[in-house]
Structure 1
Amino acid sequence: MTHRLSDQPWLTAAATRAVMAALEASGGPGCARFVGGCVRNALIGRPVADIDIATTLRPEETERAIRAAGLKAVPTGIAHGTVTAVAERRPFEITTLRRDVSTDGRNATVAFTGDWAEDAARRDFRLNALYADAEGQVFDPTGKGVADALAGRIVFVGDPETRIREDFLRVLRFFRFHAWYGRGEPDAAALAACRDLAPGMSRLSAERVSSELMKLLSAENPRAAVAAMAEAGVLAQVLPEARLTPLFEAAVVQGAEPVVRLMMLLPPDDAVVREASARLRFPNATRDRLVHAALVLPAISLSMTDRQARSALYGHGARAFSDAVRRRWAEAPDRAVDARRLLALAEGWTRPPLPVGGRDLARLGVEPGPETGRLLKAFEEAWVADDFPAAGHAERLRALVSQQRG
């Protein structure tokens, strides 16, 4: 059965047409095809973000063709055959057809080829080994890619163990693609290969692993994929601190963002979180967010009054407060009303600035120095405890100075 992409604005966009025309002007009709995610997503009605193109042209020929058409060419991965074309400020990643010469589980040595089937044979999953020409006609070299995409099946191209041994990151990619595109039970052969070869992921860089993990957790509903990861021993290999509990499922039901979902897999222990973050080399912002949520959690309760919540927000910040509230909500799913009240308060509340400063104390005869700091700290504590009153600051400060001086 012949398939054709239809109603795809990116396919008929002027920038896309310009890039394909530039390549075909050099290599002739059919020398370039769209490949991978853009074809897959167009077939199943998902949004298309990146547009990748495969071509029979060699990298240097691609670069010349793009520049000859007056477009920008960036040799982003020339050794592996990749040139990025930029048309109307949109990037198009163009890669020469390749076959693997050797692999070591992390990197591959490739040779360029003009054979579309050889290029498809080195890809990970059949639904990613799809191509489409400039008019949208789909090519399916494995003969199963279109059916897999439409049915939600994540199946390796060829033998699963062979594909994984070429790049052990494909273990995580299998679960990530199942989270994003899979339906029903995971492919049994793929799952068995992932279980057997999971220890090979120890050879991968921490950055590659953490990036893939966060992409997986970004899926709308990654619960089944993460459960399969845990059952296969893959979750323990990647994140031994993780515990798959009802908290994770609750976070997904809440619609929590990926970092919060990750937080639910980890214990609320800042030392454990720091160690896991360091090992996987999470970005500093992710690490700090996980740590702060663990530190703040003991101070947060869904029974807090709005006044108590404002005090906690002032002391801990809205993000750490909200993350801790979401964990408490996951622990008590029946307290959704209280959790939403506190989350709404955090979203709408603006932390007020301290209404007095050193100059105010100087006007009361307090010399700059340690006493100023102590008095301002005492004023702040009383001001927060009184729920941030908007007036009477001068009188409060004068009384505090008199009290402190006896």
Structure 2
Amino acid sequence: MPELPPASWTRRPSLARLVAALEPERVRYVGGAVRDTLLGQPVSDIDCATIHPPDEVMARCREAGLRVVPTGVEHGTVTVVLPDGPVEVTTLRRDVSTDGRRASVAFSTDWREDAARRDFTINALYVDPQSLAIDDYFGGLADLDQRRVRFIGDAASRIAEDHLRILRYFRFQARFGAEPDAEALAACATLAGTLKGLSRERIGAELLALLALPDPAPTVALMHQTGVLAVVLPEATAAQRALLAELPARERTAGVAPHPLRRLAALLPPVPACAEQVAARLRLSKAQRSRLICAAARRPADAEAPRALAYAEGAECARDRLLLAGADVGPLRDWAVPHFPFTGRVLIERGVPPGPEVARLLREVEQRWIGAGFPPETEAQQLLDAVVAER
């Protein structure tokens, strides 16, 4: 029987305490930690499956002195808070009914039955915590070896159970896949319209997770070809998809970390009103919405004065706009946006009467200061003196 290769996370003392509390023969590691270890990738989240019902899981953990939070008891999931990070523990389940958005489940004691309700074969690998032996019910190991993202069983049936699996398929394809699975693509194309029934938050979260990956453009192209992109982001024209294809290389050349909101902005026309509509539709947070709208306000003149742009809009937005425009972000590297050294009181002290004239002159000083390249305060004083003298 195949075994999980050595991995530091499997030797954590706190995880051993959890396994002991649940009984080693009644718990298995499953999901992303197993998959990523087999691929030699970093492991972030650890998930366990167990035959114990949620109430017993919580009782056993508390008896062992482990903190447990009932994060999703109705679906069999609790979160055990360990010193090395939280671990989700889910009772084995089988679907009783599904409507494409939510499922009604019954708890089970059958490992294969639990595996059968999961989405992809590469996510249905179970590992014995003691021997590290792998139970592979649906060919997930072979699919990992071939870098093939494949639904368990009939692809259309899996999607019918949860329509969000369409977007999950493309995200996993972007992260792990090589040649796309023909059955999966056909099912996604046939059922693309079902995504309209999902909450906008779920769609937005999946879309941003996909765009955060190193190079999402080839997968976004697949989404377009299958008609999925037209359902979730109809604003993404051919020109915008081409811009997304260029963006990762620009980010790498500039030494700027990729960001999903910058990639989302690439898929939208440079029209702030459009960005605002998309942000509202995808239920983005206030901060996310502001960043997307600012990136959409890009214009050719941005490249002419990168630091002035960063002063006006913030360094984050300036970098987004410059990268989207294919302009040099070098002037912003290791440069902190300066603080304008004057307030209206300085002008009043120099004899300018309080009122609109103070605000006008202050704006004039600020514009000259920006135009001069943000000189230090000693030089800025000369600009101030000149403006006062000219009034």
TM-score range, shorter chain: over 0.9
RMSD between aligned alpha carbons? 1.6
CA distance in 1, matches of 2:380, 2:28: 70
Give me the whole-angstrom Cα distance separating, in 1, the residues matched to 2:261 and 2:383. Answer: 42
Secondary structure at the aligned position of 2:88 is classed as strand
Distance 1:314 1:346 in 2: 10
Aligned twin of 1:212 = 206
TM-score w.r.t. structure 2 length?
A: 0.93
Moved more, 361-370 or 320-329: 361-370
User: In the alignment, which residue of structure 1 is the partner of 2:336?
Assistant: 350
What is the distance in 2 between the residues matched to 1:75 and 1:395? Answer: 64
Deviation for aligned residue 1:371: 2.1
Following TM superposition, the consecutive aligned residue runs of length 4 or more in structure 1 with deviations greater than 3 angstroms are 392-396
Distance 1:348 1:389 in 2: 17
Asked whether the 8 Å contact 1:131–1:139 carries over to 2, the reply is: yes
Separation (CA, whole Å) in 2 of partners of 1:228 and 1:195: 10
Secondary structure in 1 aligned to 2:35?
helix
Counterpart amino acid of 1:319?
Answer: E
Letter in 1 for 2:96: V
* CA distance in structure 2 between the aligned counterparts of 1:349 and 1:233, rounded to whole angstroms: 43
The CA deviation at 1:369 is 2.5
Aligned to 2:47: 52
Q: Separation in 2 of the partners of 1:313 and 1:225?
A: 32
Question: Superposition pairs for residues 294-333 of structure 1, below 5 Å?
Answer: 294-301=296-303, 304=304, 308-329=305-326
Change (3 A) 1:84 1:394: closer
Aligned: 1:372 with 2:358: yes
Of residues 65, 82, 91 in structure 2, which corresponds to 1:87? 82
Displacement after TM superposition at 1:395 (Å): 4.4
How far did residue 389 of structure 1 move? 3.0
1:9-40, Cα deviation, whole Å (9 max, x unpaired): 1001101111101100xxxx411001111111
CA distance in structure 2 between the aligned counterparts of 1:102 and 1:203, rounded to whole angstroms:
17
- Alignment match, 2:367: 381
One-letter identity of the residue aligned with 2:143: D
**Counterpart Cα distance in 1 of 2:204 and 2:92:** 29
CA distance in structure 1 between the aligned counterparts of 2:362 and 2:170, rounded to whole angstroms: 54
- Structure 2 counterpart of 1:77: 72
Deviates more, 1:171-180 or 1:235-244: 235-244
1:241 equivalenced with 2:235 (yes/no): yes
Identity level (%): 45
- 1:146 is displaced (CA, Å) by 1.0
SS of 1:106 mapped into structure 2: coil
Give structure 1 stretches of 5+ with no counterpart: 330-338
CA distance in 2, matches of 1:133, 1:231: 41
Could you list the per-position Cα deviations for residues 245-299 of structure 1 after superposition, in whole angstroms to 9, with x for gaps in the alignment?
3211111223442222222111111111111111111222222112112223242
Alpha-carbon distance in structure 2 between the residues aligned to 1:356 and 1:88? 49
The answer to whether the aligner puts 1:163 opposite 2:158 as a matched pair is yes
Equivalent position amino acid for 2:199 in 1? S
- Structure-to-structure mapping, 1:7-406, within 5 angstroms: 7-24=6-23, 29-88=24-83, 90-135=85-130, 136-142=132-138, 144-184=139-179, 186-244=180-238, 245-255=241-251, 256-301=258-303, 304=304, 308-329=305-326, 339=327, 342-390=328-376, 391-404=378-391
Q: Deviations over 1:203-261 (max 9, x none)?
A: 11111001011111122222321111110000111101112432111112234422222
1:224 and 1:290 map into 2 onto residues whose CA distance is 22
Query: What's the TM-score, normalizing by structure 1?
Result: 0.90
2:271 maps to a residue whose letter is D
Aligned residue number for residue 255 of structure 2: none
Q: Could you tell me how far 1:392 is from its partner in structure 2?
A: 4.1
Does structure 2 conserve the Cα–Cα contact (< 8 Å) formed by 1:43 and 1:150? no
The 1:89/1:40 distance shift into structure 2, 3 A limit, reads closer
Deviations 1:63-84 (A, max 9, x none): 1111111111111111111111
Q: Deviations over 1:336-371 (max 9, x none)?
A: xxx4xx312113222222222223222212233222
CA–CA distance in structure 2, aligned partners of residues 88 and 309 of structure 1: 44
d(CA) in 2 for partners of 1:226 and 1:220? 13
Number of aligned residues = 381
Structure 2: tracts of 5 or more residues without a match: 252-257
Provide the residue aligned with 1:332 in structure 2.
none
What CA distance in whole angstroms lies between the structure 2 residues aligned with 1:32 and 1:100? 20
Tell me if 1:5 matches 2:1.
no
